[in-house]
Structure 1
Amino acid sequence: MNPLYPIEWAVAWLMVKFHALLSVFMEPDSGVTWVFSIVGLTVVVRTLIIPLFVRQIRASRSMQMVSPELQAVQKKYKGKTDQESRQKMAEETMAIYKEAGASPFSSCLPVLLQMPIFFGLFRVLFYKLPEAADGAPFGPLSTELARSARSSTILGDVTIANSFLKPGDGGTVTMVLAGIIIACMCAVTFFTQKSLTMKNMPKASLEGPMASTQKMMLYMLPFIYVITGPGMPIGVLIYWLTTNVWTFGQQAIVIRATPTPGSDAEKERQARINAKREKKGLEPLDFTPPKKISAEPEPEAPIRVQPTKGKGGKKLTDEEKLERARALRAKAAEERRRAQEAAGEAPAPSPGSNPLNKGAKKKRKK
């Protein structure tokens, strides 16, 4: 039994339903009507997997954020090939993933989920449509509808069942149209990866395995389209292009609304917020995280006596070394007090004002 049969049946059912809906105000036997039926099918599929897409974005963001930590682990065990080191490296890597809630496989879920639908549509257009047109209807795809889809043209004599390698009656026009669609698929995918995904990565994540994978995908996906696209029917290429455009738009919206902290996309969002505030006559917001100043006085560091020399190159005595160390410590305490006053906090009592210190000084003088 064909494992894709339920998916093929569902794909054919959706195409037929969208065709019936569009036929109310469009020509039923027009190739454009069947093209929009495939676009409608794509919209339904992508809408159903929106939760998975959101999960993919979150997983990708988490992977980007932990990239510096993963690089540190790899540097830690660089050159160590023994079994114990490899095991520890794997354990530390998995601990980082678990703590950040990241998974290297979550980003593949939407693609993996669409693959059966993609192959189902391919089989419907490549096999079921000609069979149904020849008198063997397939589920909701009747012989009459199949003949309409098979004979209705998009441009010249091009139908949704033609392909670059099997142009049919369309000939050169089919090949040119298929080439244009494949080129658009490559351009949209490249622009999505380059201008959106890379822009949403923090600078610390632009190096290392995660960035290398992203850069590889920039060229691998267009290459896959060029290799596999010519054998695909025009209808499948339209589905592929529509889902790529959907991914671009959906990803642009998500990145614009919730960019990754520390990325260029976040800086652009902050600039847009301040531009809107400026138009309203409001002061711009400072997105720089504030530095915390502790209200409690820092503990005094123990006096460290180091071998130093005076101005003339003469060695200092122990008493002179102690006096110099006390002076440096008093200067540091004064600087802390001024910083606290500038921050609007109550200054901590200086070491010189402590009665115990005064008593200690008197004892030393005696």
Structure 2
Amino acid sequence: MGIFSDIGSLIMTPLYYAISAIMLSWHWLFTQIGLDPEGGASWALSIIGLTLVIRILLIPLFVKQIKSSRNMQLIQPKVKELQKKYGHDRERLAQETMKLYKDTGTNPFASCLPLLLQMPIFFALFRLLDQAAKNGTAHGLLTEELARKFGASEIFGVFPISESFWQARVWGAEPDGAVMVLALILVLAMTATTFTTQRQLMSKNMPADALSGPYAQQQKMLLYVLPVAFGLGGVAFPIGVLLYWTTSNLWTMGQQFYVIRNNPAPGTPAFQAKVDRDRAKAERKGLLVAEPEAPAVKEKPRAATRQQPKKQTRQQRRQGGTRPPGSAQAKPNQKNPSKGEES
């Protein structure tokens, strides 16, 4: 246990200093504009400010994640071909798949990197807030006085940022309904934003070929597993930690919406929507003339088909039988063979 404790302390101590430095900077700023230094609003806004700083620092990693995720979508047809070709040989299939990832610059684990990097920050903030509330223990740049004020701060004088839904329900002499309601709202918001972010990626920025296969099954599993996991675990998170995670999810959702709208993957519904918007914008500016509809072509009336006369035998022509319709009329001076010549 001593070795693990030392390793944990080695990892968490730098995070305590980084988190407390960012939070205290925001806290000083908010107190300068008139907020109560001991009030929960200044500390809650400091946690939101911490979230924004962390997410801004993670933007390069997010860009890498988007590129890798897009490559994973686009190479799915090639992955399916490899599965058909080497499905009987798992070792060869794994080798060829890894070679394909390397050639296309794709990292199948890149989509998890932002989440994995935020987890130590998440636990550091949880521990910093929890110990400040319970024991007034100072970490990082927090003094004991600041730790005490941080742990005892209440939003609007009603919602202690160090309490959780579970703590208000179990450990209090009487359940704190106000804390439970706010914590439940934040848990639901955290769960809904997690689900919406994953759903947004699958429904708008994945081509049809990527909606089937192992990668798609993995995405579908994460679509439902992650919100459930966060929802079940969220009842034990303090309100301050829930503020951090919900703000982070909102940032992710907005950032992803911007990327999908302005730089969608080819062959996706979002890509077609962007093409339609660009075309409509060009037409409004007069840069692209809309093609006029071709006028309807009127059909010319067909000429009446001339009825051909029936073919007559020589005997019928000599006898001067009834001519078929359309044949030439007999000349007036033509003699009628059925009568004798006039004298």
- TM-score, scaled relative to structure 1: 0.72
Q: Structure 1's 14 and 129: CA in aligned 2 closer, same or farther, altered over 3 A? A: farther
Answer yes or no: is 1:9 the counterpart of 2:17.
Answer: yes
The Cα of 1:90 is off from its aligned counterpart by 1.4
1:274–1:284 contact (8 Å) kept in structure 2: no
Matches within 5 A, 1:310-325: none
Match of 1:112 among 112, 116, 139: 116
The separation in 2 between residues aligned to 1:97 and 1:174, in whole angstroms, is 48
Answer yes or no: is 1:57 the counterpart of 2:66.
Answer: yes
Bigger CA drift: 151-160 or 265-274? 151-160
Match of 2:266 among 255, 261, 269: 261
Matches within 5 A, 1:137-286: 137-155=138-156, 157-167=158-168, 171-283=176-288
The separation in 2 between residues aligned to 1:191 and 1:235, in whole angstroms, is 22
Q: What letter matches 1:145 in structure 2?
A: L
Match of 1:41 among 41, 46, 50: 50
The separation in 2 between residues aligned to 1:216 and 1:67, in whole angstroms, is 17
Q: What letter matches 2:36 in structure 1?
A: E
Answer yes or no: is 1:32 the counterpart of 2:41.
Answer: yes
Q: Which runs of 5+ in 1 are unaligned?
A: 287-366
Q: Structure 1's 155 and 22: CA in aligned 2 closer, same or farther, altered over 3 A? A: closer
The Cα of 1:162 is off from its aligned counterpart by 0.5
**RMSD value over aligned CA atoms?**
1.9
Q: What letter matches 1:282 in structure 2?
A: L
Q: What is the total number of aligned residue pairs between the two structures?
A: 278
Q: Which runs of 5+ in 2 are unaligned?
A: 1-5, 292-343
The separation in 2 between residues aligned to 1:197 and 1:143, in whole angstroms, is 47
Superposed CA deviations along residues 312-354 of structure 1, whole A, max 9, x for unmatched, are: xxxxxxxxxxxxxxxxxxxxxxxxxxxxxxxxxxxxxxxxxxx
Question: What percentage of aligned pairs have identical amino acids?
Answer: 46
The separation in 2 between residues aligned to 1:205 and 1:48, in whole angstroms, is 30
Q: Structure 1's 218 and 7: CA in aligned 2 closer, same or farther, altered over 3 A? A: same
- TM-score, scaled relative to structure 2: 0.77
Which residue pairs with 1:77 in the alignment? 86
Q: Structure 1's 146 and 284: CA in aligned 2 closer, same or farther, altered over 3 A? A: farther
Answer yes or no: is 1:131 the counterpart of 2:135.
Answer: yes
The Cα of 1:43 is off from its aligned counterpart by 0.8
2:76–2:209 contact (8 Å) kept in structure 1: yes
Which residue pairs with 1:96 in the alignment? 100
User: Which stretches of structure 1, 4 residues or more, deviate above 4 A after TM superposition?
Assistant: none
Which residue pairs with 1:355 in the alignment? none
Which residue pairs with 2:308 in the alignment? none
The separation in 2 between residues aligned to 1:260 and 1:254, in whole angstroms, is 10
